[in-house]
Structure 1
């Protein structure tokens, strides 16, 4: 795994866990990392990550609008 060092302003009040969640959640939501990779970044279980994601404004379901529309169009009974 790569190591990334980020310098943040002293006046930014953010905990390490929050920063990791924001970073991993953004990467996961954009499809850049898998759920397992995102949880490894934060250092928590998949279940915990999925439960906490909503508090940070992320969705566990990384479906695009186009994917959802396609699934609706091809759903049985339509």
Structure 2
């Protein structure tokens, strides 16, 4: 694992755990990390991290809209073909 050092102003009252969790949530939201990877980075079990995502306004359903639309069209086509 790689270490990155970030200097924050003294006026920001965040613990290292809070910063790491926020970063993990953002990376998950961007699709850079899987749910398990993000939970590991934040230092939480998946179930706990899943609950914390709402605090960062991140949905657990990290599924691109275009993929969902394609899946729905494929399902409609399959259903019509039956």
- TM-score normalised by the chain length of structure 2: 0.81
The aligned counterpart of 2:40 is: 40
Distance in 1 (CA, whole Å) between partners of 2:31 and 2:6 is 22
- TM-score normalised by the chain length of structure 1: 0.85
Alpha-carbon deviation of 1:17?
2.5
Larger Cα-atom Rg: 2
What is the number of equivalent residue pairs in this alignment?
78
RMSD: 1.6
Looking at secondary structure, tell me which structure has more helix per residue: 2
Alpha-carbon deviation of 1:19?
1.4
The aligned counterpart of 1:57 is: 57
Q: What residue ranges of structure 2 are gaps of 5+ in the alignment?
A: none
Distance in 2 (CA, whole Å) between partners of 1:14 and 1:67 is 36
